[in-house]
Amino acid sequence: DAKTTQPNSMESNEEEPVHLPCNHSTISGTDYIHWYRQLPSQGPEYVIHGLTSNVNNRMASLAIAEDRKSSTLILHRATLRDAAVYYCILKKETSGSRLTFGEGTQLTVNP
């Protein structure tokens, strides 16, 4: 499976934008880039996904590099509720289609 690399931790201030990076240099052409987050004592929550083009939804934006070897999750205005572990995952269309979780990025949001 193609691996992703994320910083262990990042810090932001409330109401400021946050850019969470992810490197995936061995990505294959059919891998989708998914982002999940996990709040304390909760299950992972789907945030956004993309293949080649940048994507926006109500939660966040996903910027994908032209060569697809990296991506950035953008939270436009961080809130205290956004403090969580953020996982960048490459998802293949395989028979099991499992998600392979790394250690993610722990985002701290300061008031």
| Binding positions for other proteins, rule: CB under 8 A | 30-32, 34, 41-46, 49, 51, 87, 91-104
Nearest residue (CB) to other proteins, 41 versus 66: 41
Q: E-strand spans in the chain?
A: 9-13, 18-23, 32-38, 45-50, 55-56, 61-64, 70-75, 84-91, 105-110
Cα gap 2→82, rounded to integer Å: 27
For residue 58, the minimal CB distance to other proteins (Å) is 14
CB 12 to other proteins: min, Å: 22
Residue among 58 and 111 whose Cβ is closer to other proteins: 58
Give the nearest distance from C-beta 65 to other proteins in angstroms. Answer: 18
Task: Assess contact for 15 and 77: CB atoms under 8 A.
Answer: yes
CB nearer to other proteins: give 96 or 111.
Answer: 96
3-state secondary structure at position 7: coil
